[in-house]
Each structure stands twice: as C-alpha cells, then as structure tokens.
Amino acid sequence: MDVIAAIATGVNPTAIGIVRVSGEGCFALCERVFRAANGRPFADQEPRKMAFGEMLDRDGQVIDQGLAVRFPGPNSYTGEDCAEFHCHGSPVVLRELLSALFAAGARQAQAGEFTKRAFLNGRMDLTQAEAVVDLIDAETAAGARNAAAQLEGGLRRTLEPIQDALLEITSRFYAVVDYPDEDIADVRPEEIAAALRDAAGRLDRLLDTCRRGRVLKSGVRTAIVGRPNAGKSSLLNALAGYERAIVTDVPGTTRDTVEESVLCGGVLLRLIDTAGIRDTEDVVEQMGVERSRQAAASAELVIVLIDGTGDITGEDQEILALAQTAPHFIIAMSKSDLLPAGFAHVLRRDENARKPDACLSISSVAPGGLRPLERALARIFPAGEPGEAGSLLTDARQEDAARRARDAVHRALEALEGGMTPDAVLTDAEEALDALGELTGRTAREEIVTRIFSRFCVGK
C-alpha cells in the first residue's frame, strides 16, 4: 500500500502536535524529515521508543525539535510499518512537516484510513474499528468505558461462541455430505436444536442491550414541557451550568425550542427547552407551542414541569396527557424551595392513565435541588453492570445485523422443530452466519465498510 501521512491532532495551536505515517517504506521517508540526536538512521532507532531530534522541512531546514518513534509491522496499529512525530503544536510546524513527508513520497491519508488499514490487515474487526470513533466521540465516562472495552474485543468475544456453534453445525453437515466414506458422526437433530436454542438465547440477550448502548453513545432525547413560567428555562440553565436560556417573570418568554446537551445522574440528555404550552392569540407564540408539541412527540423522555407554588390547571392535565405518548415521562414539581414544609400536590389523574416513571419535587436554584431528578434518571436509564462494558450494541448497523442473525436462527429452529431435514435448516444457519460476519466485518460489503470509516476524522 502507499505510504500515507496526516496530522493526528487538531488544527488549533496546542502544546504538542502529532504527525502520523504508515505504509511499507515509510521509515526511509521519515529519515528525510527527521535527524536523530543520537546520529543513528531512523530505521535503526529502537522500536516503540521515543528518539529526540530535529524536524526538517522539504528543503532540509530545521523547523522544530521533538520526538519521533517507529512501530515496525505487523505489531503496529495498522499492521504495517508506522511512525509518529511529536513536535510543538504550531499549525505551521505541523503543515511544514507534513509537506516534507509529501515531498519525500507520502500522500495525504483519507479520513479513517489508518484504522481502515488496521481492519484490512486483521489488527481489529469492524466492531473494534467502530469503537475507535465511539471512543473519540464519547461524551460520558460510561460511554468511554464501553467504547474502550469494545476496542479490546468485548463485543467480538460475545459473538464468538454464537459463530462457533453455527459453524460447528454447518461444517459437520458439509463434512458428512462431501465425505460419505469417512467415519464422520452425523449431525443429530437434537444436537442442532440445542445449539440453535443456545445461539437464539445469546442473540436475544445481546439485542436487549441495544437501548442501553444507544443511551451510552447518543444520549436521551429529552423534552422539557409545561405551562409558561413553570421553570423550564431555569431547569435547562441549572443543568447546563450557565445561562443558556432567557429567564424572566414574563410568561411566554421562550418562543422557540432551545437545545443543549447535559449530563444528569450519569445520563447524557439531549435537552430541548420548549415554549410554554397554553392557548394564546399571539401568532409567534402559537408557532412555539406547536413546536413544543412536536418536540414532546419525538422525545424519548418528557419532563413535565408543574409550578409547585400554584394550583393544578386543566392545561397541566392536557400536558400530562401529551407526555404519556413518550416512551418515558417524569412529573416534576418545580420551585420546591418556595414551598412550605410538608407541602405536596395531589394530581387528579385518570386511574387508567399510564403512570409516570417518576414523580418528584425539584428546585433549580436551591443547593441539591436537582438530586431527585438525578436519582430518577439513573434508575430509568441504568448504565448496567461493569462486566457488560464492551458487549453492548451501540448503533443501528450493529442492531440490524444482530437482529437478522437472531431471526435466521429462530427460523432454523422452527424448521427443525417442524420436522424439516437438517439440510433444509442449513440455509437459515448460514444466513445467520452471514449476518454475524457482517457485524464483525468478515462478510461486510465494501459500501458498509466505506460508510463506517467515513465517520472518522483524518489522522485516525
């Protein structure tokens, strides 16, 4: 493959900047842009150990002093010869060093090409490659831990027993058919049924992780709804930690949705602060109210704020009915710091109506006033057990492949239990194997691989 090079750090000035190189013959190119202080050629530097020296531009002029390290293949990130230059993080220095590498024969690396080469060279499977970008994009500690464990092969290890069982079924069947004169034990229907039931159970449990995986990776789309002046914008500001939305005593201040990502109770919330829902003659406010309704309809979690200092109104009841259409909803009495001791509201609700996931009192200004909300969110969206890290399905592609594998296994089991011969079951078992291979990258089509690596930044 060509020698590729790219700046692996950001475009803004930083203390340290890194330029990465990979490909057969890259050590010879690096020799032309780096002069080691110990006087040894770059290819003779001790592997995986930093060497101090001077960085040279395309004219051989010194542009910086820093460190360089070489990683001989196949024991490198990409599986081929690799090198990195660690210099001062001036964008000018990084560009000059990269330009010198281009002049020496390297080309600009495409987005995600280093990790793509690692995948193509067998250094990681597709789930591990996806974990790389998930780790870069992680917005919570739990999300980072899950991505790191997946990068170490957590999801692959979950899939391997399923693949091994299905391969045992298919390979033994073909062996019996292709070599009838050999003393190969036939595959008994009860053995096939046991293996298929085990595979189906494992895939069912894996698919049960989809929701937690999506929450860890993408967060929870959350709409804050309520009447005007219920404290919606105050709650958004308290969660965000700064004045994200305008707060006044004038009802109807918020006319449009305001969005912000926050961490609450260890859960990443994609918050949408909405306009107060009420009947109004103001055309602009009417548009805001309609957007509030749309936000609630598309949210996974709706937080209904009810002003704890006033009476429950018909509008509050209508908003509660709207919130019940969401997968999860919380009723929060706001302004608990202003309520008299022992004060509690009793909502007059239809006994047949769906119960909220939590009903609590909060304050956006009092110390510890949001702790009830934090505890409720941690309970509704649990992070899972530490041992599960790395074995969660985190995106739609993984979920789709696992679901197709599970469905194929169930079809194979139904066919077997319906009296079909083992060869008829084989087609569904092979379809399940193909879907699992697509998940790990063994049988993934080129367009799928290309789409995955297009998510990466240049230099990774």
Q: How far apart are CA 198 and CA 22, in angstroms?
A: 43
Is 241 annotated as ligand-binding? no
Is 437 annotated as ligand-binding? no
Q: How far apart are CA 270 and CA 220, in angstroms?
A: 6
Is 249 annotated as ligand-binding? yes
Is 118 annotated as ligand-binding? no
CA-atom Rg of the chain in angstroms? 29
Is 274 annotated as ligand-binding? yes
Q: How far apart are CA 292 and CA 273, in angstroms?
A: 8
Is 229 annotated as ligand-binding? yes
What is the 8-class DSSP label of residue 455?
T
Is 234 annotated as ligand-binding? yes
Is 275 annotated as ligand-binding? yes
**Which residues, including other chains, have CB under 8 Å from residue 416's CB and lie 6 or more apart?**
189, 192, 193, 196, 422, 425
Residue type, 295: A
Is 253 annotated as ligand-binding? yes
Is 299 annotated as ligand-binding? no
Is 209 annotated as ligand-binding? no
Is 217 annotated as ligand-binding? no
Is 273 annotated as ligand-binding? yes
Q: How far apart are CA 70 and CA 60, in angstroms?
A: 20
Is 121 annotated as ligand-binding? no
How many C-alpha atoms does 42 have within 13 Å on its Cβ side?
Answer: 25
Is 355 annotated as ligand-binding? no
Q: How far apart are CA 150 and CA 135, in angstroms?
A: 9
How many C-alpha atoms does 234 have within 13 Å on its Cβ side?
Answer: 20
Is 123 annotated as ligand-binding? yes
Q: How far apart are CA 104 and CA 55, in angstroms?
A: 14
Residue-by-residue DSSP string for 352-416:
TSPPPSEEEE--SSSTTTTHHHHHHHHHHS----GGGTT-S--SHHHHHHHHHHHHHHHHHHHHH
Is 200 annotated as ligand-binding? no
**End-to-end CA gap in the chain:** 17
Is 248 annotated as ligand-binding? yes
Is 32 annotated as ligand-binding? no
Instruction: List, as residue ranges, the binding site for Mg(2+).
Output: 233, 254
Instruction: List, as residue ranges, the binding site.
Output: 20, 84, 123, 229-234, 248-254, 273-276, 460
Instruction: List, as residue ranges, the binding site for (6S)-5-formyl-5,6,7,8-tetrahydrofolate.
Output: 20, 84, 123, 460
Instruction: List, as residue ranges, the binding site for K(+).
Output: 229, 248, 250, 253
Instruction: List, as residue ranges, the binding site for GTP.
Output: 229-234, 248-254, 273-276
